[in-house]
Chains A and B, each alone.
Chain A
Amino acid sequence: MTESTSNRLAIIALHGTLDAAYPPLILATAAAAMDMQCAIFFTFYGLEIIRKGKADKLQVAPIANPAMPMPVPNIVGMLPGMTAVATGMMNSWMHKANVAKLSELLEMAVESGVRMIACQMSMDVMGVKKEDLIDGVEVSGAATFLEFASQNAISLSF
């Protein structure tokens, strides 16, 4: 039996929180650095990541997110301001660990040839226009993404 290796990475980004925006972008840029072809399909809340000026303003909520190390019971996360606190905490961890900002990762992804595909249907549903998105994004549908993914791609969804 011959072993086949993938040279393609197909990612679906459907969440728009700070913690969910990093995995697609880090993997995509790493794949591009390894000479792999990569495409990210931004759909539903994932569109927030590629909105002009939005990437560095994404938030993460602690409520119902028991994985976030909070010194208080999880329910306290519902209080006004707690989302900003959790977001600030996560951003400071990223900064301390020298992780690139989301806007930088987006730039590097576009520069290294990662295909950034915005889901037309989600854009219609959420009222997002092409002008609202960053440069380097192509607007397409599911078939475009699936065509790319069908050719022996590692497919991930975040």
Chain B
Amino acid sequence: MSITPDQVLDCSGMACPMPILKTKKAVDGLQLGQILKMIATDPGSTSDMEAWTKKTGHTLVASEQVEGKFIFYIKKSK
């Protein structure tokens, strides 16, 4: 994927609720419009990230699965 993230957060090996907790902290620290790339191994994080962005108002720009890891690109939208 050719999105250049402003920050990369690796949540590999973490189980719920850690991935969304860490993502929230990271996104809170970004500037409006910046993109966070989050890597997770928890299969539940796919639907969790969709739900999280929906609830918090940020944007899930893209998501992909690479070599068993789930990659999410989140844009700080508010």
Contact = CB atoms under 8 A, between A and B. Distances in A.
B17 interface: yes
A97 B17 contact: no
A99 B56 CA distance: 24
Given A29-B21, A108-B21, A112-B21, A34 B52 contact: yes
Contacts, number: 36
Nearest to A27: B17
Determine the interface band of chain B, counting residues with CB < 8 A from chain A.
10 to 19
B20 A33 contact: yes
A2 interface: no
A33 B21 contact: yes
At the interface, is chain B mostly helix, strand, loop or mixed? helix
Interface residues on A, range: 10 to 19
B20 A34 contact: yes
Contact of A33 (B13, B14, B15, B52): B52
A27 to B, nearest CB: 8
Contacts of B14: 98
